[in-house]
Structure 1
Amino acid sequence: MAIIVNLDVMLAKRKMSMNELSERVGITLANLSVLKNNKGKAIRFSTLDAICKVLECQPGDILEYKEDEE
């Protein structure tokens, strides 16, 4: 996959747990885990917006494009 989710990096920088983020954003811990582990197929802009607000970051701090190796 070419899009890498760096949610764990931002959580570490903000010293926040997945549980706290889940509660503050209003999405399940299971859905956050799917996102964090790069298993998700999509993310809603409203979810990304909420995560960025809570973590006080930009979408580019969470999402990274990396070219697939052939």
Structure 2
Amino acid sequence: MAIIFNIDVMLAKRKMQSQELAEKIGITQANFSVLKTGKAKALKISTLEAICKVLDCQPGDLLEYRPD
């Protein structure tokens, strides 16, 4: 996949566990795991917005493009 979701980096910087973030943004741990591992086929803008709000970051801090 060419789009990489670097949420682990931001979680480490904010010293937050993925379970805590999942609870704060209102999604299940299973759905969050799909996002975190890069297996998600889509990402709602509202979910991205919630993640950015909780982690106090920009979408570009979380998403990266790597050509195949």
TM-score range, shorter chain: over 0.9
Residue by residue over 1:14-48, the C-alpha shift from the partner in whole angstroms, topping out at 9 and shown as x without a partner, is 00001110111111111110000010001000000
**In structure 2, C-alpha distance between the alignment counterparts of 1:62 and 1:31, rounded to whole Å:** 17
Aligned residues: 68
Query: What percentage of residue pairs aligned between the two structures are identical?
Result: 69
CA drift at 1:5: 0.5
Structure 1 runs (4+) greater than 6 angstroms displaced: none
Q: What's the TM-score once normalised by structure 1's chain length? A: 0.95
1:21 aligns with 2:24: no
Partner of 1:48: 48
- Larger CA Rg, structure 1 vs 2: 1
Paired AA for residue 31 in structure 1: N
Q: What's the TM-score once normalised by structure 2's chain length? A: 0.97
SS at match of 2:52: helix
Paired AA for residue 13 in structure 1: K
Gaps of 5+ in 2: none
RMSD of equivalent CA atoms: 0.5
